[in-house]
Amino acid sequence: MLPVDLVIIFTMLLIIGMMVTSVYGFIAGVPYVPTPHPVARAMVDLARLRGTENVMDIGAGNGRVLIEAKRKHPSIDATGIELAPTVWLLGKLNIFLSGIRIRFIRGNAFDHDMSRTDVIFLYLSPAVMAKLEDKFDRELKPGTVVISHAFTFPRRQPVEMTALPGWMGKKTIRRYEW
Ligand SMILES: C[S@@+](CC[C@H](N)C(=O)[O-])C[C@H]1O[C@@H](n2cnc3c(N)ncnc32)[C@H](O)[C@@H]1O
């Protein structure tokens, strides 16, 4: 096989991967956009983890927020759920390369029970936040902490928020307590 054949195969795989990611983003109503590293670190700080919690990232992307959380608090129990298979694969690879143990599930977060979760990280969309608020009202135990990058719940008020500068404007993160 010539090097040019490898380049063609790699390019085609990349294009197919981007198309699959776009289709899933369209179905879920949330495109894949990774949280910038400084924002991921600020989200972990705002969660004020003690180190013993069950932590979940809903729509975990490349696993960045959980890797950050687990690096800082190695004894937390970390689970990511990611809908898009291509993004999930990217997350698995990223987690493998980080050498950190994180449960990383491929699936729809709405099919998973969250009643035993202590802290949840989110970076989704207004429509999904509205649907999640109903699920959280049904399932979350009192005191569960939810940290959301950018998007708000329609009915619930954050207990704390912080904003970081970003090249596309300010990045706001909010802390909710259920
Ligand atoms: C904006 S990205 C954020 C990725 C990551 N949390 C971060 O902050 O870097 C949102 C991700 O949520 C995923 N997603 C959307 N709806 C989902 C659902 N119902 N269940 C699981 N993942 C979902 C999308 O596939 C996408 O990768």
Report the CATH number at residue 170.
Answer: 3.40.50.150
Residue with tokens 């969309």: 125
pLDDT tens-digit series, residues 45-102: 999 999 999 999 999 999 999 999 999 999 999 999 999 999 999 999 999 999 999 9
Quote the radius of gyration of the chain (alpha carbons, Å).
17
Q: Which of 170, 169, 144 is nearest to 159 (CA)?
A: 144
CA distance 6 to 88: 24
Note down the domain range covering 42.
Answer: 3-177
Q: Which of 62, 83, 98 to mutate to test the pocket of ligand 1 (most atoms within 8 A of CB)?
A: 83
- φ, ψ for residue 13, nearest 5 deg: -60, -40
Residues with CB under 6 A from ligand 1: 24, 28, 30, 32-35, 57, 59-61, 64-65, 81-84, 87, 108-110, 123-124, 128, 149
- Largest Cα separation within the chain, whole Å, is 60
- Indicate the pTM of the whole model: 0.91
Report pLDDT digits (tens) over 116-164.
999 999 999 999 999 999 999 999 999 999 999 999 999 999 999 999 9
Tally of structural domains, the chain: 1
φ, ψ for residue 86, nearest 5 deg: -65, -40
pLDDT over 90 at 9, yes or no: no
Read off φ and ψ for residue 118, nearest 5 degrees.
-95, -35
Among 19, 41, 58, name the best residue to mutate to test ligand 1's pocket (greatest count of ligand atoms within 8 A of Cβ): 58
Rounded to the nearest 10 degrees, the angle between the axes of helix 64-72 and helix 37-47 is: 50
